[in-house]
Amino acid sequence: MSAVGTDAPVLAALDEAPLAGAAPPAVPPNKEVRSTVWRAFWTSRLLVLFAGVFGTLEIRKAGGSWRFDPSHLTDPYHTYFANLLIGPFVRWDSVWYLVIAKQGYGLPSALEPVQARAAFFPLYPMLIHAGAWIVGSDLIAGILISLISFAIALALLYRLTYMEFGREIAQVTVTLLAFAPFSFYFSAVYTESLFLALTLGAVYCARTDRWAFAAILAMLAAAARNSGVLLIVLLALMFLYGPRASTAPLSRWALENKPRRWREPRSWLPKYKLTPSAAWLLVIPIGLLAYMGYLWSAGGTPFLTFNVETFWNHQFVGPFTGTWDGIVAAWDGLRQIHHGVGPPIYFKIEAGDSLSNAGINTMWFAFVVLGIIAVIGAFRRLPFAYAVFALLSLLVPLSSPVVPAPFSSMPRYELVVFPLFIWGGYYLVKKKMVGIGIGAMATMLGFFTMMFTTWRFIG
């Protein structure tokens, strides 16, 4: 495809969707977005609610679960039925967010459990605190923020995927995310929904060349989660290489040369001009820097949020080095499952029931393998910027594994890496496995929701 005489062929080639054929319309109809999102939203959340309630009634809470919530923040009501209904929404880390929303970070306390609050970034508990003024409850405010953010994230994901791949893959991608095995976190008092909504909002604004809004949303994401600052890499790559709106000014190289695949050396030259709008990207780290400044002014240290990761057993071991530790844990888990109840205990670092630990480590390993496959698929089918963001998002947890359980919480970390789900939607459509794939996801979602609601740690 030659660019001689006109820029239109170059623009078409640069903005061409990864699927073969004509590029899809840029903007989906609003009615289509609303109907798809609403269907995925209410059906998946109803499944989460029913599975959580059923799990509590039939499996019952794990013994000793009261130790993780001594103040009863996750069952504050006087009736069993009310506490039963909110169970699927508040467990584990929800307690920490509710405590911070009520009490703040408690600095300059030297007590280790108090300082451990610094690992939780401030935007979400701040919104909970503000929302409680309106609804009269921190817990209800947290649930509403998560649910509203999740609906917004689904709508943005649909629009973004539609722009790259068209209607069918957009619909499947949204459904896949809504019924992902760990998507119960999207309605829980956790940061997943808020962070994903801010991330997708930033990417969608960048995709449509609204860089001021993109940078502000990315800045807020950096104040919501420690990995939010990675958005500066994603947005910088989008600014230079796309995907961007067709009206973005092309660089001289893009105008004078035939478009090439990103794997070819010359394709690494920027496709778009560096304009003053790029300066907005410097706003993104402010979210992280503001939180570090607060910790310092409150009597801690600027790096307290990173230092307290040792309280949570996270230890930096080098880029992707934790992958090997996780493989060892999964292999020992398979050996334990084959052998049965110990002795011998093959994975001795982790305390507790050996068979339960074996099953969880093996399950986490399976999700890591799926994530790596999806990253590879993203590099093959998705825009380069999206694929790099997916790789970096896995790099962070795989470089700082949890010592007793290296792949701990990996399915939750993968949940907010949107390129993994776009590629998953593309793959299911291409292989004509949509029904099987979504059905399997929904089945696992029900099972893991029951485990989460009954205080059984699964990540």
First to last CA, the chain: 49
Please name which of 196, 190, 162, 164 lies closest in space to residue 177, comparing C-alpha atoms: 196
Q: What is the pLDDT of residues 265-290, one digit of tens each?
A: 666 788 888 899 999 999 999 999 99
pLDDT of residue 255: 67
pLDDT of residue 319: 73
Assess whether pLDDT exceeds 90 at residue 419.
Answer: yes
Q: Does any domain span residue 31?
A: yes
Structure tokens at 403: 């010592």
Q: Does any domain span residue 1?
A: no
The one-character DSSP state at 15 is T
The more confidently predicted of residues 81 and 401 is 81
Of the chain, the percentage scoring pLDDT greater than 70 comes to: 87
The one-character DSSP state at 315 is -
Least confident of 15-19, 66-70, 429-433: 15-19
Q: How far apart are CA 196 and CA 184, in angstroms?
A: 14
Least confident of 167-176, 317-326, 350-359, 412-421: 350-359
The more confidently predicted of residues 277 and 337 is 277
**Mean pLDDT for all residues in the chain:** 86
Q: Does any domain span residue 25?
A: yes
Least confident of 150-154, 162-166, 286-290, 343-347: 343-347
Assess whether pLDDT exceeds 70 at residue 433.
Answer: yes
**Which residues are CB-neighbours of 24 under 8 A, at least 6 positions away?**
17, 162, 163, 165, 166, 167
Query: How many other C-beta atoms lie within 10 A of the C-beta of residue 1?
Result: 9
pLDDT of residue 68: 85
Q: What is the pLDDT of residues 49-106, one digit of tens each?
A: 999 999 999 888 887 777 888 888 888 898 999 989 999 999 999 999 999 999 888 8
Which amino acid, one-letter code, is at 421? F
Q: How far apart are CA 437 and CA 206, in angstroms?
A: 31
Please name which of 360, 361, 376, 383 lies closest in space to residue 424, comparing C-alpha atoms: 376
pLDDT of residue 60: 84
Q: How far is CA 164 from CA 83, 151, 158, 220, 233, in A?
A: 43, 20, 10, 25, 20
In 206-236, which positions are buried (b, 16+ CB within 10 angstroms) versus exposed (e)?
bbbbbbeebbbbbbbbbbbbbbbbbbbebbb
Q: Does any domain span residue 83?
A: yes
pLDDT of residue 8: 36
In the block, tokens 């309630």 appear at: 53
pLDDT of residue 3: 37
In this prediction the pTM is: 0.89
> What's the domain range around 233?
8-453
Q: Does any domain span residue 458?
A: no
pLDDT, mean of residues 16-40: 70
The one-character DSSP state at 404 is S
Q: Does any domain span residue 2?
A: no
In 50-86, which positions are buried (b, 16+ CB within 10 angstroms) versus exposed (e)?
ebbbebbeeeebeeeeeebbeeebbbbeeeeeebbeb
pLDDT of residue 61: 83
Least confident of 114-118, 229-233, 302-306, 370-374: 114-118
The more confidently predicted of residues 8 and 30 is 30
Q: Does any domain span residue 459?
A: no
Q: How far apart are CA 251 and CA 272, in angstroms?
A: 5
Query: How many other C-beta atoms lie within 10 A of the C-beta of residue 243?
Result: 24
Structural domain count, the chain = 1
